[in-house]
Chains A and B, each alone.
Chain A
Amino acid sequence: MPKSDLAAAFTKFFSEYLLHPEEEALVRIAEIGRNLVETGIPPEEIGELFETALKYYAEKFPDVRLSETAGKISVPLVEMLIAYGLAFRQQNEQQQVYEKTRLASKIMENSPDGIWMADSKRRIQTVNPAFSRITAYESAEVMGKNVAVLHGLSPDDIVMEKIWEIIRKDGIWKGELASRRKNGEVYPALLRINTIRDHNENIVNYIGVLSDISEKHKEENIRLELDRAKEIYNLVVQPRLPEITGIEINAKCIPAENIGGDIMEIIKINEKKLVVFLADITGHGVSAAMTANTLKMLFREISESTVEPSKIFRYLNNVMYNNILPDDMIAAFCSCIDLENMEMNYCLNGLPNPFIFRDQKVHFLKPTGYPLGVFKEMENKCLHIPLFQKDLLVLYTDGISEVRGEGGRVFGNQGIENSVSDKKHNSRTIVEDIFRGAENFQQKNYFSDDIIILAINIYDENTSFHEARHTNTYRFPTKSVCKGKTKFLFIDEVVGFFLNYISETVRIAAENLGGMKIALFELLLNAIEHGNLEMTQYKNDPDFYDSEEYWKIFNERMNSETYGNRQINIECNHNKGEVEIIIEDSGPGFDVETADSPLREENVSKPSGRGIALAKMNVDRLLYNAKGNTVRLIKQF
């Protein structure tokens, strides 16, 4: 191949390699390098070729900064230094040719990485401009100094000793090294040290390529801080889901950019009274989350001494007025639901209108005052409304009501009404319908503001047992929770709730999550039948199982205070493609070790007892606690 074609090919493959550092391109570059050396091209021209290739790359991809390609360049650069160095040595049979070539200096001058070259005694022979930029050492002042000194270490430092030991063995070392600049400042360096050996395999040179990764470290630290802030927010935003007879709670929360300023809380005062709180802090991100955290703590504190919404708001306003940024404010709702007298007192300050859903119609609540934290003194009245069985109290933050659709139209109260009116609803369907309504209205499936939708269903436990199932649920991007009494837990519905959550978080259609559905079903069924209802002895008797008598006992236990009222808590966590589900029943537990194996000959034909085996087939890990009343399943997607 003529020299010009080889040069063009070199430019092309080098550029390709920088974009997609794959072994194949590197092999081609090495091949071209060999061919170029064979053409008798002088070292100066190879150096220029490298420079041209780098310029070509910089011009062709102006958006990619050369410094960003440092990691990519390091590998071919060192390979080429070595490859060409060896090639020249073979040609001229003079070892010193390599160090003297202009090629080396051209390459080194153009590299965004700091490069040093040392002799066999690890004394610096040359450094490149990038090295001086990073370390502040000029070329002249480091000549002859030990490599360790350039990194702020003494030559006999134990860290350097370890590095040399690895290089002696493997011929290469790569890693992070806490180095010092000339002024003593410590910085993290990503360092790679290669060796050049003579014909007798003795090390004659060391080549070090380093980059300053301080910025990367800073970014990493900020990211870690944010992750921790998110974890705290995840804990703070989650409401308690108190078990109150006649109350069903469902909440869905989606913070913008995964950390937000919306919070909610539900506090059980006694069996007949609860306090509900929802607040939206202006702005979002870490600062809003910090304010939200403080607000929630204050709310919990004050709700221990009063259940009167106007008193609660007066206290929160007084404290928060001095503790939020001057341009921030808090839109909030607080109500005290009294099931004894079937009434609700509430304060509505700045939040979009909550409503009562009654007889398939939306009845918006009237506002009572200004947002909190704006005025030092706050006059706040409390409104009083009667409640009826089957009423649904629905609250949401402005992330829903202010959604914008085609032509800038706002979703608003009308959008809410259109989404839910003239339909039968329970607390779960109404939350989902509002959410989907807003999503469809804006024609996209992500929201630019924090969102909380909270629905509280008031029902009569004695009359509604046969017509509805009641569980409290909470949904957050990284977590979903479902809690309920055994007698009100409808297994297909609960499995559907979690499957829907997993489907949305791992982005796999629910119909393709059959294995997960089976695992969840089996373990939930176990928690109900074996755990809370303690039906094991009856289920294990093949002649008794499914008989009329069996179902009589089953139904008696299901409706009883002792068994049917036992709680089941299910929690599903999602983190980077890993889904973890924890199912906890309130039964006496069982000994996992001694449980009958469905594979034992006498058990193969039994109609029950293979749930755990089936669940295991469909998940990566299945673990029980010591008591045997909590199972944890983990599946990687």
Chain B
Amino acid sequence: MITSTRRIANKVVLTVHEDIIDLKSGEEFKTALTELYAKGEKNIVLDLGDIQLINSHGIGKILMFYKKFRDEGGQISVTRLSGSIREIFESLLLVNIIPEISLEKE
């Protein structure tokens, strides 16, 4: 599995362990998000601290679920953006719409 989940207070942290750089990893990532959505989770934190790369397929999934959770009154946020992931998020202006949070402060 390229992802794992853990619960912190009212949030579910979905940690991505492998770079999302092909169709296979993109689909596994989508499955993990779909499961959380189906369970009725509202607050999702994507922990991207373990990965260095993500392709448009992966970003597409994040944005798709960002909207789905928002429409259900929930929210997706991200945490631990590494150098290259942060660069991608900043370059594509994703930082403007997806909040970045620090879990340690929670």
Contact = CB atoms under 8 A, between A and B. Distances in A.
Interface string B46-88: 0000001101110111011011000000000000000000011
Contact of A607 (B61, B87, B96, B97): B61
Contacts, number: 67
Nearest to A600: B93
Nearest to A545: B64
B60 A608 contact: yes
Interface residues of A, number: 25
Contacts of B60: 545-546, 607-608
A605 B56 contact: no
Contacts of A515: 53
Contact of B55 (A518, A598, A605): A518
Given A604-B96, A605-B97, A610 B22 contact: no
For chain B, the bracket of interface size reads 20 to 34
B76 to A, nearest CB: 12
Contacts of A598: 92-93
B28 interface: no
Contacts of B103: none
A378 interface: no
Most buried by A among B60, B87, B96: B60
B23 interface: yes
B104 to A, nearest CB: 28
B2 interface: no
A605 B76 CA distance: 13
A525 B97 CA distance: 25
A625 to B, nearest CB: 22
A72 interface: no
A518 B87 CA distance: 14
A546 B64 contact: yes
Interface stretch (A25-33, A94-102, A129-137, A611-619): A611-619
Interface in A497-555: 514-515, 517-518, 521-522, 525, 542, 545-546
A613 B59 CA distance: 12
A525 B92 contact: no
Given A604-B92, A605-B66, A607-B61, A492 B22 contact: yes
Given A599-B93, A604-B92, A491 B23 contact: yes
Q: Would you list the 5 A-B pairs with minimal beta carbon distance, nearest first? A: A607-B60, A607-B64, A492-B22, A514-B53, A607-B63
22 contacts: A491-B22, A492-B24, A514-B21, A517-B21, A518-B21, A521-B22, A521-B57, A525-B57, A542-B67, A545-B60, A598-B92, A598-B93, A604-B93, A604-B96, A605-B66, A605-B67, A605-B97, A607-B63, A607-B64, A610-B59, A614-B59, A617-B91
Interface of A: 491-492, 495, 514-515, 517-518, 521-522, 525, 542, 545-546, 598-599, 604-608, 610-611, 613-614, 617
Given A517-B53, A604-B92, 6 more contacts: A518-B53, A525-B57, A542-B67, A607-B63, A610-B56, A610-B92
